[in-house]
């Protein structure tokens, strides 16, 4: 049998060779991002696991005699029940092994996030690879503070689920997109809230959907979140105390910078965060800037937060990169890069003696918390202005209307390829 001739597009033809070459180059990018991320993970390993005791203790209490009283008895646990279930899945392993496995899995989430977003990124294949590679380089240093140094599994899980929601919602509004995608997006957001309540600020991304798909998706999201938190609230009404824990107020936090001078977080603060973040995100979505929903919600949250902890940078940088990749055509992820620089935080093992054991820029950072707080608050304001700015978005990242739908979509691409 005669095989396909040159240029026929059959196996072994130029098209197949070209596709193979593209696949190898794509694989090279993912390998580079993975190695870079692993290197940063190793860099963060000493000290590491600073917050892991919350998870080991939380799992023990959740599966103990007073399981449904978990948050009433321990209101300092700002961790959703879904995260504890994930940790419980590691329980057959020895404690030390559990911790290492959790660190490896959480660190591996960083390149996975970019894999999820990759099909939505605009540009030629070569330029798309560069954009993703640069985004990976920016994300890894911040992400490994979350995944290795502090080990906040609930944030890693919530952010992963939220990015999946972005992917599925964008898929749902594209021409010919599958019907299940809208419900999957709502399901992912509900699961994210079951891991971390502040992700309620991401739910307004569902506003990109037409009404007949928006309502079921939103209902799915709310139902799943209620199923996760409801049993604890019904079993013990004191569970509500978990939403205003007795935490100190950092003098480099947004709340302090805004003028609050109490020694502990006010009871109203978490409630205001949970209300204003979705409101800001909804305003962004309704202005046809849906790729900025995550960034708007996180900006509001950090502006009102009583703490200023290094792992907060992971969510902020990720949200900024989502905006860079989906709402702009810039090769360099400017918003993510600036966010990573702004939220850089030093860390010392001998914190009580940090003024004598540190030097240079690190020492300056510790000595000027008010300046740091002002810079962080300015970032929140700048992020909100950025995402509501009436600029246009790249055509590849833009959801395409179905003939019978009228979804909210971003506008076309700017003429300046490097503009935000």
d(C-alpha 42, C-alpha 40), whole Å: 5
DSSP letter for 28, please.
H
Which DSSP string do the residues of 130-161 spell out, in sequence order? HHHHHHHHHHHHHHHIIIIII--HHHHHHHHH
Structure-token match 């590679």, residue found:
133
d(C-alpha 26, C-alpha 130), whole Å: 10
pLDDT (0 to 100) of residue 2:
44
d(C-alpha 381, C-alpha 397), whole Å: 25
Structure-token match 């609930």, residue found:
154
> For residue 377, what is the enclosing H or E element?
helix 369-388
Nearest to 189 by CA among 173, 209, 168: 168
Structural contact between residues 293 and 204, judged by C-beta atoms closer than 8 angstroms: yes
What's the CA angle centered on 134, arms 131 and 140, to 5 degrees?
135
Structural contact between residues 159 and 388, judged by C-beta atoms closer than 8 angstroms: no
Phi, psi of 264 (to 5 degrees): -130, 155
Take residue 50 and report the two structure tokens written for it: 């600073």
d(C-alpha 306, C-alpha 283), whole Å: 24
> pLDDT tens, position by position, for the chain (420 residues)?
444 444 444 455 556 656 677 778 899 999 999 999 999 999 999 999 999 999 999 999 999 999 999 999 998 898 999 999 999 999 999 999 999 999 999 999 999 999 999 999 999 999 999 999 999 999 999 999 999 999 999 999 999 999 999 999 999 988 777 889 999 999 999 999 999 999 999 999 999 999 999 999 999 999 999 999 999 999 999 998 777 777 889 999 999 999 999 888 888 999 999 999 999 999 999 988 999 999 999 999 999 999 999 999 999 999 999 999 999 999 999 999 999 999 999 999 888 999 999 999 999 999 999 999 999 999 999 999 999 986 554 444 444 444 333 433 443 333 333 332
């Amino acid at each position: 049998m005669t095989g396909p001739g040159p240029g026929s597009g059959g196996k072994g033809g130029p098209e197949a060779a070209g596709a193979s070459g593209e696949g190898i180059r794509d694989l090279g990018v993912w390998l580079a991002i993975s190695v870079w991320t692993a290197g940063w993970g190793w860099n963060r390993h000493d000290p590491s696991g600073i917050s892991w005791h919350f998870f080991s203790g939380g799992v023990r209490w959740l599966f103990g005699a007073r399981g449904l009283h978990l948050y009433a008895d321990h209101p300092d646990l700002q961790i959703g029940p879904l995260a504890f279930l994930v940790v419980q899945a590691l329980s057959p392993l020895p404690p030390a092994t559990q911790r290492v496995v959790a660190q490896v899995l959480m660190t591996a989430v960083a390149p996975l996030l970019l894999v999820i977003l990759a099909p939505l990124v605009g540009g030629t294949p070569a330029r798309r690879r560069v954009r993703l590679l640069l985004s990976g380089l920016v994300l890894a240093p911040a992400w490994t503070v979350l995944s290795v140094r502090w080990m906040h599994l609930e944030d890693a899980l919530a952010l992963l689920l939220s990015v999946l929601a972005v992917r599925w919602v964008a898929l749902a509004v594209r021409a010919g997109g599958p019907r299940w995608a809208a419900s999957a997006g709502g399901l992912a957001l509900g699961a994210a809230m079951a891991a971390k309540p502040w992700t309620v600020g991401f739910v307004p991304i569902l506003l990109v959907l037409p009404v007949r798909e928006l309502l079921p998706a939103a209902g799915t999201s709310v139902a799943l979140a209620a199923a996760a938190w409801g049993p604890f609230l019904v079993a013990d009404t004191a569970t509500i105390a978990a939403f205003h824990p007795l935490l100190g107020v950092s003098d480099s936090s947004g709340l302090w910078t805004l003028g609050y001078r109490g020694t502990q977080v006010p009871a109203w603060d978490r409630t205001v965060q949970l209300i204003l973040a979705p409101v800001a995100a909804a305003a962004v979505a309704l202005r046809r800037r849906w790729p900025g929903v995550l960034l708007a919600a996180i900006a509001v949250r950090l502006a009102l937060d009583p703490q200023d902890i290094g792992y907060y940078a992971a969510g902020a940088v990720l949200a900024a990169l989502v905006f860079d990749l989906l709402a702009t055509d810039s090769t360099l992820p400017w918003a993510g890069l600036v966010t990573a620089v702004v939220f850089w935080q030093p860390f010392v093992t001998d914190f009580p003696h940090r003024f004598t054991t540190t030097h240079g820029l690190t020492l300056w950072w510790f000595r000027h918390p008010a300046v740091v707080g002002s810079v962080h608050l300015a970032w929140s304001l700048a992020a909100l202005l950025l995402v509501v700015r009436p600029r246009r978005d790249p055509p590849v990242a833009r959801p395409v209307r179905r003939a019978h739908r009228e979804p909210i979509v971003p506008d076309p691409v700017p003429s300046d390829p490097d503009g935000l």
